[in-house]
Structure 1
Amino acid sequence: MLKCNFQFHYNQFNIHAQFEMTDQVLAIVGASGSGKSTVLKNIVGVLTPEYGEISFRNRILFHHQQGINIPTYQRRIALIFQNPLLFPHLNVLQNLKYAEKLVEKSQRKFELNHVVELLELDHLLKRKVNQLSGGEAQRVSIGRALLSSPDLLLLDEPLTGLDTRLKNQILPFFKTIKIQTNLPMIYVTHHLDEVSFLEAHTLTISRGYLKDI
């Protein structure tokens, strides 16, 4: 499904990632600053490895020797960051519809109304981004990522900033995604109970190396 064998280097920071994702949900755990987010950013194309290769479903996304580096917008990979990245000049509904309109109706994996209901966004639809709390903005970010109908969903601490009630609501939604859509997901978290709930195969990153535990 996803194959990674690359090294990323920046100043004194080095990441060596060599793994093959065969399960639908892969969890990456590790201490703060260990490079979990960096691995995701290399996969989605926000960062570029120093050398190596990354492929998904037999499609090469990056290959240093062959000079291949597919642009982020062509990879069909959605990344949800710890800090939501939304369009500040658009309201919530416009942010959601922006993602939806980029996907042809026949290829849409999620309906707008369904996402709005499950993430409790109905009363927020007319609000501007700067009127949202951190948890509300994260819910909009999750909704927008899903409405882009990605082939691979990367989640970097996606429940950060949410209260317990919303965490308990949204986490089952990720499991519903797993069951109903077969959407592959890489889930980065510090919380092993989330990993256990999603029944995810787990990798740990330590001392700059991503390896099986």
Structure 2
Amino acid sequence: HSFKSRSVESTVGEQLSVTLPMVVYDAFMALGKLSEDNNIDIKRAGITGWSLGGGVALFTAWSPIQEAISPNFKFAAHLPFYPPCMVIPDELRFTNAPVHILAGEIDDWVPAAACEELVEAANISGYDIGITVYPDASHSFDRSMDVVLDNDAYSFTDCRMKLSNDGVVSLLNGFPLSSPSLQKIGLAFCADKGAHWGGNKYAREHSMNFAKEFMSKFLFN
């Protein structure tokens, strides 16, 4: 477990103890370990995740990082739930595995608009990444609880970043986010504190059904 193994319970409000690159690495290491089991068809291993984990499910499909970390193995399908899409790679090159993003229209934690921008850019570059944006749905729309405000959570609505091929994330103005201290400074430029999360009945039911159909289609057929 990427959090427990690092003695971390949550990254809400700080985003530094467990980062997206850390968990992307963990995911590929887990995939490599699974490949050692003869009972597992590693060519049918898909990945899904929620929020930070959604970012992992998304960026494990980015070819430069897959080729660098896991050249022998890649995931067969990617289904990110409300991922952080604010980071646009300089090189829009993805594996040939299907990718579909599920996002909430009014998510003020990680905005759906950023995911739509990423999908549009990827599609223009020739990659058929899909997206479903659920109307009136917030972050964690698949929960059964009412929507609440978390004052400690970062809202990335106004954040846009870029990702170089060597893995360096920076703001669009070129400010690098290459260390914990620089990340804190960088977030002060674009992120606000306070974001909502909670369930949406339609989005919860549809997304669960979609997940079953998506994985069945691309892993079992």
TM normalised by structure 2 equals 0.28
Higher strand share: 1
